[in-house]
């Protein structure tokens, strides 16, 4: 079976060692404590779409440490308690928009999306770091875990799920999260950092097994890290120490909810070995859907699989 990475037989066995710092658990416990304590100050503004039996809203809420995070929310018009799905988007993109949320919302599910701060949506990134960075967001604040960009993104994503769970019409006991690439990475991280999800559906997840990803990948965002270290060779250990806190390889053992991951064996942006290595550290109920000829993309067939899983788990 073809792969731009390891053969499938090796992928099934690949399980790199965790490389957590001693304060890994306290670091995340404190970060999430702060994220949950901070008021959301959420605002939902009705958005006009000629939909039947579904209402749509533009969303704003307070980002972790400041700034306003943008997104979209769709809910059934009728009264009741409904399951919810939170969606996260890919690198440099923007949150899922209403026409791509309506399929779930029309099935009686409340759906929330989030623009990652500073990327191509409408969310503000007000975090200040003491020094500059390589192009993109992968190295913003990379000299210090507390200042690193993805500390804020992961915390924002947990807060987005809290916003969804806190809605009067949402059954907080029936929540799922999903996303592709960066959105898949965020789904994994939120699964590890929040006890809210009962189902996690990360597709072709990014931010896994950083050391291997940076070493073997020439496409996508990972080369930003190599570019930074090329400019600052002495910062190699410091950079990977920071990244260790945000590597889903290290977060994977914390995931408890049912998780179904997709992977493409021709993916040269998020190499399959990095995804398999992370998957093998998960001890939750799990499965991995393998697409042998897919690159950095989600198969239509897998979209159907996810739709069926959401129906099965959230609306039995």
Based on its alpha-carbon atoms, the radius of gyration of the chain, rounded to whole angstroms, reads: 19
Contacts of 18 (CB under 8 A, 6+ apart): 249, 250, 253, 281
Sequence-separated (6 or more) residues with CB below 8 Å from residue 183: 87, 88, 89, 90, 202, 203
Helix axes 149-165, 24-37, angle to 10 degrees: 50
Catalytic-residue membership of 100: no
Write down the catalytic residue from 134, 280, 294, 296.
296
315: helix, coil or strand? coil
Concerning whether 48 is annotated as a catalytic residue, the answer is: no
Query: Taking a C-beta distance cutoff of 8 angstroms, is the pair 189, 205 a contact?
Result: no
**Other C-beta atoms lying within 10 Å of the C-beta of residue 8:** 15
Which one of 181, 194, 200, 273 is the catalytic residue?
181
Cβ atoms 196, 172 nearer than 8 A: yes
- What is the per-residue DSSP string for 35-55? HHHS----EEEE-----SSEE
Q: Which of 125, 156, 247, 267 is catalytic?
A: 267
Q: Would you state the structure tokens that stand for residue 277, as one six-digit string? A: 């290595």
Nearest of 193, 118, 207 to residue 159 by alpha carbon? 193
Active site residue 17: no
The secondary structure of 94-158 as a DSSP string is -PPPGGGTHHHHTTT-EEEEEPPTTSSSS-------SS--SSSSTTTTTT-GGG-HHHHHHHHHH
Kindly list the catalytic residues.
181, 267, 296
């Amino acid at each position: 079976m073809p792969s731009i990475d390891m053969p499938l037989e090796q992928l099934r066995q690949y399980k790199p060692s965790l490389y957590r710092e001693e304060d890994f658990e306290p670091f995340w416990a404190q970060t999430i404590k702060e994220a949950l304590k901070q008021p959301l100050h959420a605002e939902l503004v009705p958005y006009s779409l000629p939909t039947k039996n579904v209402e749509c809203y533009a969303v704003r809420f307070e980002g972790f440490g400041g700034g306003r995070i943008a997104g979209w929310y769709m809910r059934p018009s009728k009264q009741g308690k409904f399951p919810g799905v939170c969606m996260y988007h890919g690198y440099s993109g923007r949150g899922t928009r209403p026409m791509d949320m309506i399929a779930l919302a029309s099935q009686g599910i409340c759906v929330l999306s989030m623009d990652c701060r500073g990327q191509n949506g409408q969310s503000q990134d007000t975090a200040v770091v003491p020094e500059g960075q390589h192009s993109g967001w992968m190295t913003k604040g990379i000299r210090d875990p507390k200042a690193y960009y993805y500390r804020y993104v992961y915390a924002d994503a947990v807060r987005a799920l809290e916003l969804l769970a806190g809605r009067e019409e949402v059954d907080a006991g029936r929540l799922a999260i999903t996303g592709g690439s960066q959105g898949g990475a965020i789904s994994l991280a939120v699964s590890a950092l929040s006890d809210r999800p009962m189902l996690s559906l990360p597709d072709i997840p990014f931010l896994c097994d950083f050391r291997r990803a940076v070493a073997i990948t020439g496409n996508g965002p990972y080369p930003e890290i190599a570019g930074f270290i090329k400019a600052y060779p002495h910062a190699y250990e410091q950079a990977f120490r920071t990244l260790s806190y945000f590597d889903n390889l290290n977060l994977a053992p914390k995931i408890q909810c049912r998780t179904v991951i997709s992977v493409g064996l021709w993916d040269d942006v998020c190499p399959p070995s990095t995804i398999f290595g992370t998957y093998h550290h998960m001890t939750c109920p799990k499965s991995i859907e393998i697409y042998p000829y897919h690159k950095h993309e989600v198969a239509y067939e897998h979209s159907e699989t996810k739709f069926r899983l959401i129906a099965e788990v959230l609306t039995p």
